[in-house]
Structure 1
Amino acid sequence: MPFKKLIHSIKDTLKFKGYDTPLPLQKKILSKIKGGTSMFCIAPEGAGKTTSIIISVVQKLKGEAFEDAPRALIFVKDKEAALDLKLEFDAYTKKTDLRVYCAYEEHNIELQREELYLGTDIVIATPKRLNRIFFLNGINLNKLQMCIVDDAEFLFRNNNFAEVTRTPESIGNCQYLVFSTTYDARFDRWRESFMYHAEVIKSV
C-alpha cells in the first residue's frame, strides 16, 4: 500500500520523519493488514515492524476516537516497551483525537481501571496486567478490531504465551497480528485455535 493511500495525519508524520516510500516489509504487509488479514510477520530488527503496527492501527481506526471501549490491543513485554511504543504512537496521533493508554504492572491497578473507564481507543499492555484488569471487569474487549503482539519473542518467558492465549477466549471476531524476528513452532497452536487462515509473511 503506497503511503499516498494513507490518511492525512499519517502522511504528514511520515513526511516529517523523512519516510518517502514504504520499506520492503511494509510493501508486503500494509495492504494485507488494511484488508483484514491475520498474519505472523517475521522480519529482522530495523525492517519497519513497529512503524507498520502504528500505521496500520491509526489507519484502521481512521484517526478518530469512538465511544469508550478500545478497538486495538497491543501486547508488549514490559513497562519500558509500552511507554516507548506509546511515544511512537503519539507522533502519529497528535493530529487526531485517538486515545492511547498503557497498562503495566508498575502502575496502581485501581487507578488503571478508573482511567480505562474514561475511554480509550488503543491499549498497549503487558499480558499479565491486561488479564488481571479484564478479570476485575476493568476493560471491555467486545469492541476489539485488532489484537497485536509486538516483538513476540517475549511470549516464551514468564508464562506470557499462556496469558496472551487467554485473550481470544474473551473477544469475538478480530484481526490478529504477531510481529517477531523468528517463527516459533508454538505459534502453530494459535493457528489451530483462533488465528485460522493466518498468513506467514517473511522478510529479510
Structure 2
Amino acid sequence: MSSESPRPTFTELGVAVEITDALEALGIRHTFAIQEYTLPIALDGHDLIGQARTGMGKTYGFGVPLLDRVFDSADVEEIDGTPRALVIVPTRELAVQVGEDLQRAAVNLPLKVFTFYGGTPYEEQIDALETGVDVVVGTPGRLLDLSQRGALRLDKVAILVLDEADEMLDLGFLPDIEKIMRALTHKHQTMLFSATMPGPILTLARSFLDKPVHIRAESADSAATHATTRQIVFQAHRMDKEAVTARILQARGRGKTIIFARTKRTAAQVAEDLAARGFTVGSVHGDMGQPARERSLNAFRSGKIDILVATDVAARGIDIDDVTHVINYQTPDDPMTYVHRIGRTGRAGHTGTAVTLVGYDELLKWTAINTELNLGQPNPPQWFSTSPELYETLDIPEGASDRVGPATKVLGGGVTARAPRRRR
C-alpha cells in the first residue's frame, strides 16, 4: 500500500455541503490533482488556465467551484432564470457528458443545468431558456446561434468555462468562441482547461483572461501519455488486421474497448466484420445521425455492448472511465491524435492497454509519433494473427479463434448507416 497521504477532500477545500453530499453519494470524496490545485483559486473567483491530461478530473475541477459560486457567492447575482454560468465544449458527446456530471453534482441545489448542441431541433432548447436555465453547457456553434437569435442571454453570465480548448482549436471553433467571448463585455470569471497549450490557445487566454493563474496538474516534463496505460505497438499486414483485432478482443481481462479507425468507411467495415464474428459491437462515425450515435454511446456506457468502433472526430469527448483497451486499427495521422486516442483508457486511477497496429504503409506516420512523444519504439516488430508473441504479450488464450459466436448486428449501423449526400 502506498505511504502517500490521500489528497484533500472536497469538504476540506471548503465546498458547500450540498455539493459534497452529492459527490459522496457518487463515491467521490478525495480530489484529483487538478481539482486540489484549481478549487481554492476558482472558488475565490480568479481567472485560471488548468492544464491536465484527459481523464484526470478536469470536469469537477471547474464544475464544482462553478456550481458552488452560482449557488452561493456574494459576487454572483441571485439566480433568476437567466444563465449565470456558461460551459463551452467541443463536441455533442462531451456536452452531454459534462451536463450529466454537473447535474449529478447539483442534485441538492436549486439550479437548472441544461445542455445545448447542434443536430437537434431548436424548439426544446429555446423553450428551456424561456422557462429558465442557470448553468448552460453547450457546443460553440449552437450557443452562438441561440445568442444571435436573442434566445440565450449572456449579460448576466458570471462564470465562463472553455473545456478541452485545444480540441476546439483542432475542430475549427475558435472564431465562434471569440464571438461569444466578445459578447461578455461585463466583469466575469473565465476558466480555460486544456490538455495541451498550443500558441493560439495562449493567445486566446491572454486576450480574454484577467491575470490568469496557470495550473499544471503534472510537471512540465511529464509524458504526454498516462503512465497507467501500457502501450503495445507492432506492424500488422493490412489483410490480417481484422483477424489480429479479433484475437486481441479475446485477451484475458479485456473489458470495454474502443477501436479507432481513421476513416468513416473503415470504421463501418471493421464494425461489420466484428459483428459477423460474433462480437457485440457499436459504431460511432460521421455518417451516422446524432440519435444513432447517442444510442451507440449509451449502450457502450451501460455495458450493453463492450466494443465501440469510432473515428477520431466522432470520439472526441467520449469520457468513460472503465475502458480497459484501446486499439488503433489504423495508425493516427499525428502525435496529438495518438495521445487523445490512447487517453481513452488508463483514466481516473484505472490501468489500461493501448494497442497500435502499424500497417507497412503507415511506418512513416508511426516514426513521427514515436519521435515526437519519445516512446522508444522506433522499429515495431512484425506480428501476425498467428504469432505466439501476440498471444503472449496480450494474454490471449491459446484456443482463441477467428469468431466467438453467431453473427450479431452492429448497433448504430455499419457500412450502410447513412448514404453519403450526392452533389447536385
Aligned with residue 149 of structure 1, among 139, 162, 167 = 162
* Contact kept in structure 2, 1:9 and 1:63, CA below 8 Å: no
Partner of 2:20: 11
Q: Which moved more, 1:18-27 or 1:34-43?
A: 18-27
* Contact kept in structure 2, 1:117 and 1:138, CA below 8 Å: yes
User: Alpha-carbon deviations, 1:148-194, whole Å to 9, x = none?
Assistant: 01122222134301111111211111111111111121123223422
Structure 1: 4+ residue segments shifted above 3 A: none
User: Alpha-carbon deviations, 1:61-90, whole Å to 9, x = none?
Assistant: 127981121000001122211111121112
Aligned with residue 203 of structure 1, among 193, 211, 217 = 217
| Aligned CA distance change for structure 1 residues 143 and 66 (closer, same or farther; 3 Å) | same
1:37 and 1:13 map into 2 onto residues whose CA distance is 25
Larger radius of gyration: 2
Task: State the TM-score, normalizing by the size of structure 1.
Answer: 0.92
One-letter amino acid of the counterpart of residue 175, structure 1: Q
Partner of 1:80: 93
Partner of 1:51: 60
Partner of 1:111: 124
* Identity between Structure 1 and Structure 2 (%): 22
Q: Provide the alpha-carbon RMSD of the alignment.
A: 1.9
Partner of 1:21: 30
2:94 and 2:19 map into 1 onto residues whose CA distance is 22
* Contact kept in structure 2, 1:63 and 1:98, CA below 8 Å: no
One-letter amino acid of the counterpart of residue 195, structure 2: T
Q: Secondary structure at the match of 1:101?
A: strand
1:30 and 1:182 map into 2 onto residues whose CA distance is 20
Q: Which moved more, 1:62-71 or 1:186-195?
A: 62-71
Which structure dedicates a bigger proportion of its chain to helix? 1
1:43, CA displacement in angstroms? 0.7
* Contact kept in structure 2, 1:71 and 1:146, CA below 8 Å: yes
Q: Secondary structure at the match of 1:123?
A: strand
Pairing 1:56-135 to 2, within 5 Å after superposition: 56-62=65-71, 66-135=79-148
Task: State the TM-score, normalizing by the size of structure 2.
Answer: 0.46
Q: Secondary structure at the match of 2:199?
A: coil
Aligned with residue 41 of structure 1, among 50, 54, 63 = 50
2:52 and 2:189 map into 1 onto residues whose CA distance is 19
Q: Secondary structure at the match of 1:47?
A: coil
Partner of 1:190: 204
One-letter amino acid of the counterpart of residue 3, structure 1: F
Bigger relative contact order, structure 1 or 2 (CA pairs below 8 A, ≥6 apart): 1
2:88 and 2:24 map into 1 onto residues whose CA distance is 28
1:23 and 1:63 map into 2 onto residues whose CA distance is 23
Instruction: List runs of 5+ in structure 1 lacking aligned partners.
Output: none
1:2, CA displacement in angstroms? 5.1
